[in-house]
Structure 1
């Protein structure tokens, strides 16, 4: 049995995850519940976790996962569009999939928010291949994987990022952006014609695109030869 404040907080977190793909911050929770301090939010979060409604994931910001919902809460789906390279891809479709929630008293169905992203073709995890910009199909992605911003997906071809856990045939989820920090795995457009998936390093006015496979050499380019088109935020693998 949840208190009103616990139920209100769980509903607020659920709605924000559906809308944004990420849970709200503690400051946003405090404001939404009209509490004077974040310590009250910590107590509510702890109570929800102890009752098995949420799970906190270690070493990640805003890492709150909804495990189950009480019968009093009705799942609501929020629709939001996805735009890639300024073009309108096929309409983004949102799905609600059911799965049983683990519970010692027996399983009950809850809803998991999913978003369909456009798959823009294949990306080389090896020697760069010709840049891809055509939508080939769509793929359903868990809403928790998608944060703010525009996203798209690419099929991986090659094994140069295998030691980063990216295999040939995987589908990578990319947040569209034109900047990157050292160590980010990015989609890089080289010379305006070839695209590749590599780890990004800046060395003065030189850009290093590093493979995660000793069989491939690091490639160096002038900074004006490389354009970042997005950063890796997720991966989907089919067995």
Structure 2
């Protein structure tokens, strides 16, 4: 491979670190902002140089399509563990995060995915138990019947969500509990994400936070 300039090496190192931490590539705008470039043109020029020199490849017309060539990327990605989800705060606000947990990159598909600790047994028939951790992909809309993280007031709950018009039903997976029903215009309620995986620790001390 051809030799890189100092700035090209810095851009490449930033891309590698970004991918290792998040599981996906930075955008052109994020690269430009990181290096205080006046606009995306400078980032495009550096990416073109890295591509011509054989350090990266890109897919035309696809966002975040940068792939690093010939340099190993860690097979894990650090995912924030959210201790609580509060109304009126950004989902990943620093005060909500208890630490980060390394997970296999293949499991973490969505941007800004996070882990949430389950409290209670309302979803036991969906194999989600008290003390489990669910991996959540942030999104404001889920399909009927999918398991969602929903904030009601200042409390977060995990339930199967069903919506018909302006009526929302949050259905537990426990025969001893009743569904929760709301009208969208009468409740302080918001969907914050879809549950994509469940983790259960046989030894709670085995959870490694960083």
Gaps of 5+ in 2: 1-18, 26-56, 58-68, 203-210
The structure carrying a bigger strand percent of its residues is 1
1:148 matched to 2:148? The reply is no
4+ residue runs of structure 1 moved beyond 3 angstroms?
Answer: 17-21, 130-133
CA RMSD of aligned residues (A): 2.7
Structure 1 residues 132-191: Cα deviation after superposition (integer angstroms, max 9, x where no partner): 86111221211111113221111111110011010111111100111111011111011x
Kept in 2, the 8 Å contact 1:198–1:209? The answer is yes
Gaps of 5+ in 1: 1-16, 22-31, 33-72, 78-95, 97-112, 124-129
Q: Aligned partners of 1:182, 1:223: CA distance in 2, in Å? A: 15
Kept in 2, the 8 Å contact 1:122–1:157? The answer is no
1:230 matched to 2:193? The reply is yes
TM-score, normalization by structure 1: 0.50
Greater relative contact order: 1 or 2 (C-alpha under 8 angstroms, separation 6 or more)? 2
The structure carrying a bigger helix percent of its residues is 2
1:194 is displaced (CA, Å) by 1.7
> Would you say how many aligned residue pairs link Structure 1 and Structure 2?
132
TM-score, normalization by structure 2: 0.56
Kept in 2, the 8 Å contact 1:122–1:156? The answer is no
Mapping 1:1-239, distance limit 5 Å: 20=24, 76-77=72-73, 96=74, 113-122=75-84, 134-190=96-152, 192-224=153-185, 225=187, 226-239=189-202
